[in-house]
Amino acid sequence: MAGAVALVGLVFGLTAHPLLDPDEGRNAEVAREMAATNDYILPQLDGLPYPDKPVLFFAVEAAVMELLGPTVPAARLPPLGFTLATIGTVAWFARRHGGSNAAWTAAVAAAASPLTLGFARTVIFDSTLTFFVVAALAAFYEAISDRAWHWSTLGWAAIALAVLTKGPIGLALPLMIAIPYAVWRRAGRVLWAPAGPLLCTALLLPWLMAMSRRVPEFLSYALGTETLARLTTPALGRTGPWWYFLPILLAGALPWSVAALAGLAKGGWRGPDRKIDPYVAFLLCWMVVPLVFFSLSQSKRPQYVLPLVPAIALLVAHLWRGNQPAGAQAAAGTLIAAGLLIGAAPGVLPRLLPLSSGIRDAIPGTAAALGAVTVVCGALTWFLRRRDRVLLALAVPVATIPIAGGELMRQIGRERSSAELAAAIARVLPPGADVVAVAAFPLSLPFYLRQPVLLASATGAELTSNYLVRDLARWRLVPGSPLRPADWWHDAAVQCGRVKVFVTRADDAQTRAVLAAQVPLLVATAKFAAYGPCARSDLASRRRRLRSRRETFHR
């Protein structure tokens, strides 16, 4: 029953809201262009190279789009699929080391965690990365325990796929966990059995070589800007305090994180010999070492700790190996407190955050439903003793999030997606017409329109590609480039040699005033406004009207 509840939470409302910008819109568009061009080597955004991330996630997305079309379901299915694969791997690993009860507990805990649920329905790399990291770590643990090189080889293969998903972190993350544990277990050699690194290299080299031929500076950019600069400098604007990830991991793995901490505090880390259990030591290494690493990094985002959630789920399953689910009452108390806080959200959030009326109106219903379910499940957990019932009670609140929050997510989608904007433009845009983004770039707009968008910009930062920004002048000169100088749109709006629609930020009053003087307002959303369409016939009409007014005046 708990497994079914967790599964419902993962899939419910998967496509009920549109793609959210910037990440979902950009990633889905890169995949759409990959499918449209059948170029599975070089990721492209708006027809330009996009080497900011490797190819594997985009390739999987593109393959699904070739089957189902460039749609929101096609974009969101791969993250969900990799999440389910992660849960299956966690269950398999738990079964090997704790039996069927441990497998069910670990699977439900991994699935019914807020971080897992959130990124299972987000078109971003981290659910895919998490699967390959979990596969690598499970294989390395087996290799260390059995001194078996074939497991190590499998782990290195998973590392190669992790690197092809998100770059060097796919190599660093599994090794920073496995190496200390292997040294402690005096089994370091098994990790470096030659077959593993050789297989990893063989899997990586073909794409790296092909990519370097297409973009000669790719490796220096990927290792320099996208890795070293991101980790060691605040240049990319993703910094945060050293404790940034502590509340994110604690809340993102609720209620299981509290159950795990309480179980450890009661001595659940000890083995039969009263020393630390090697399995627990491995899971603690899995959680603590990356947490320290990411905390010291200058780049911080919530999804970075997603690969740590399976370790918490596995630890809870291990701690619950007896008849009594360890830490359940602590988790119950936390749920009750969390439910009360959620219930208070309508009175607190509007004072802390600038919210639109749509989002503000959706919060009370969401908070009431989710808060009530969380409090009730917390209270039930306090009195329950059977493992399966406790597991169900702890899973229900997280699984309720997409059900209770459906309207809230739809309102967020209206503000953070260009679906509404694209629908209005598509109704009036004839084939072959241009869409011009003026100092703004709604990243999901090309995806919904199924065509590139011209960008008039001084810096190109609107594309959210560090690679394109650093050499913008070069990419403006490439034949067929969508990039235009910042003031190009002025003449384009007046002359309008071919049909065009212009898009700019809703709060850019100066640009909107100039556009409004030339072409009609088409649609205005919370963040963007579109004007047009314009065409040469519009220009002729305006000139005739002006000539007629002059003749009337002279009479």
Please report, for the chain, the start and end positions of each structural domain, with discontinuous segments joined by +.
Answer: 2-233, 418-543
Say what the pLDDT of residue 237 is: 63
Per-residue pLDDT at 2: 80
Measured CA distances, 391 to 188, 329, 375, 377, 379 (Å): 37, 12, 15, 11, 14
- In this prediction, residue 82 carries a pLDDT of 98
Taking alpha carbons only, the member of 517, 444, 500, 546 closest to residue 27 is: 444
C-alpha 269/C-alpha 279 separation (Å) is: 9
Determine contact, residues 398/9, Cβ cutoff 8 Å: yes
Q: By CB neighbour count within 10 A (0-12 exposed, 13-18 middle, 19+ buried), where does 354 fall?
A: exposed
pTM of the model: 0.92
DSSP 418: S
Write out the two tokens for 336: 């009750």
Q: Is the peptide bond before 43 cis (omega within 30 degrees of 0)?
A: no
> Which tokens hold the place of 350?
């509007």
What type of residue sits at position 250? L
Residue 42 contacts residue 146 (beta carbons within 8 Å): no
- All residues at 6 or more sequence positions from 60 whose CB lies less than 8 Å from its CB, including other chains: 78, 128
Helix (H, G, I), strand (E, B) or coil at 47: coil
> Do 62 and 34 form a contact (C-beta atoms < 8 A)?
yes
What is the C-alpha to C-alpha distance for residues 10 and 18, in angstroms, rounded to an integer? 17
448/435 Cα distance (integer angstroms):
12
Angle subtended at Cα 491 by Cα 476 and Cα 441, rounded to the nearest 5 degrees: 50
Q: Name 446's Cβ contacts closer than 8 Å, sequence gap at least 6.
A: 29, 32, 46, 452, 453
What pLDDT, on the 0 to 100 scale, is given for residue 236? 63
DSSP β-ladder status, 48-49 and 44-45: antiparallel
Please confirm whether the linkage preceding 49 is cis (ω < 30° from 0).
Answer: no
pLDDT digits (tens), the chain, 555 positions: 788 999 999 999 999 999 999 999 999 999 999 999 999 999 999 999 999 999 999 999 999 999 999 999 999 999 999 999 999 999 999 999 999 999 999 999 999 999 999 999 999 999 999 999 999 999 999 999 998 899 999 999 999 999 999 999 999 999 999 999 999 999 889 999 999 999 999 999 999 999 999 999 998 888 887 777 777 777 666 678 989 999 999 999 999 999 999 999 887 777 677 788 899 999 999 999 999 999 998 889 999 999 999 999 999 999 998 767 888 999 999 999 999 999 999 988 888 888 888 999 999 999 999 999 999 999 999 988 888 899 999 999 999 999 999 999 999 999 999 999 999 999 999 888 999 999 999 999 999 999 999 999 999 999 999 899 988 989 999 999 999 999 999 888 888 878 899 999 999 999 999 999 989 999 999 899 999 898 755 444 544 443 443 344 344
> Using CA atoms, how far apart are residues 512 and 505, in angstroms rounded to an integer?
8
Report pLDDT for 235. Answer: 63
Predicted confidence at residue 460, as pLDDT, reads 92
Q: How far apart are CA 442 and CA 223, in angstroms?
A: 28
Element (H, E) at 144: helix 126-146
Give the pLDDT confidence score for residue 553 in this predicted structure. 32
Give the pLDDT confidence score for residue 257 in this predicted structure: 96
What pLDDT does 498 receive? 81
